[in-house]
Amino acid sequence: TGGHDELDYLIKQSIRASKTVEREIQRLNRIENYRKEFIGDISHELKTPIFAIQGFIETLLNGAIEDDNVNRKFLKKAMRNVNRLTFLTKDLMEISKLETGELKSEIQDIYLRDVILDVVESLQYKANKEEIKLQVEEIPKNLLVTADHNQIKQVLINLVENAIKYNKPDGSVTVGVKPYSQDESRVLVYVEDTGIGINQQYIDRVTERFFRVDKSRSRGKGGTGLGLAIVKHIMEAHDEEFFIESTPNVGSTFSFTLTKVDNSGPAATSPKE
**Interaction pattern, residues 135-164, with ligand ADP; x per rule: CB under 6 A:** -----------------------x---xx-
Nearest to ligand ADP of 74, 162 (CB atom) = 162
Which residue stretch of 11-19, 47-55, 205-213, 255-263 sits at the interface with ligand ADP (rule: CB under 6 A)? 205-213
Decide: 53 and 86 in contact? Cβ < 8 Å: no
Nearest to ligand ADP of 114, 211 (CB atom) = 211
Which residue stretch of 46-54, 92-100, 111-119, 209-217 sits at the interface with ligand ADP (rule: CB under 6 A)? 209-217
The answer to whether residue 171 forms part of the interface with ligand ADP (CB under 6 A) is no
The answer to whether residue 88 forms part of the interface with ligand ADP (CB under 6 A) is no
Nearest to ligand ADP of 18, 249 (CB atom) = 249
CA–CA distances in Å: residue 163 to residues 41, 108, 196, 202, 204: 25, 27, 9, 16, 17
18 DSSP assignment: H
Minimum CB separation of residue 49 from ligand ADP in Å reads 14
The answer to whether residue 172 forms part of the interface with ligand ADP (CB under 6 A) is no
Quote the CA–CA distance of 211 and 202 in Å, as a whole number: 9
Decide: 173 and 135 in contact? Cβ < 8 Å: yes
The answer to whether residue 85 forms part of the interface with ligand ADP (CB under 6 A) is no
The residues, ordered by sequence, that sit 6+ positions from 249 with a Cβ below 8 Å of its Cβ are 196, 197
Among 160, 188, 223, 242, binds ligand ADP (CB under 6 A): 223
Nearest to ligand ADP of 108, 247 (CB atom) = 247
The answer to whether residue 227 forms part of the interface with ligand ADP (CB under 6 A) is yes
**Interaction pattern, residues 179-198, with ligand ADP; x per rule: CB under 6 A:** --------------x-xxxx
Handedness of CA 49, 50, 55, 61 (dihedral sign): positive
Quote the CA–CA distance of 112 and 238 in Å, as a whole number: 15
Among 46, 65, 117, 213, binds ligand ADP (CB under 6 A): 213
Rounded to the nearest angstrom, the gap between the alpha carbon of residue 245 and the centroid of all alpha carbons in its chain is 16
Decide: 246 and 253 in contact? Cβ < 8 Å: yes
The answer to whether residue 224 forms part of the interface with ligand ADP (CB under 6 A) is yes
Minimum CB separation of residue 25 from ligand ADP in Å reads 32
Quote the CA–CA distance of 13 and 36 in Å, as a whole number: 35
Scanning residues 252 to 271, which ones bind ligand ADP (CB under 6 A)?
Answer: 252
Per DSSP (E only), the strands in the chain are 107-111, 133-136, 144-148, 172-179, 186-193, 242-247, 251-260
The answer to whether residue 206 forms part of the interface with ligand ADP (CB under 6 A) is yes
Closest CA to 174 of 60, 85, 81, 255: 255
The site for ligand ADP (CB under 6 A) is made up of: 158, 162-163, 166, 193, 195-198, 206, 212-214, 218, 223-229, 252
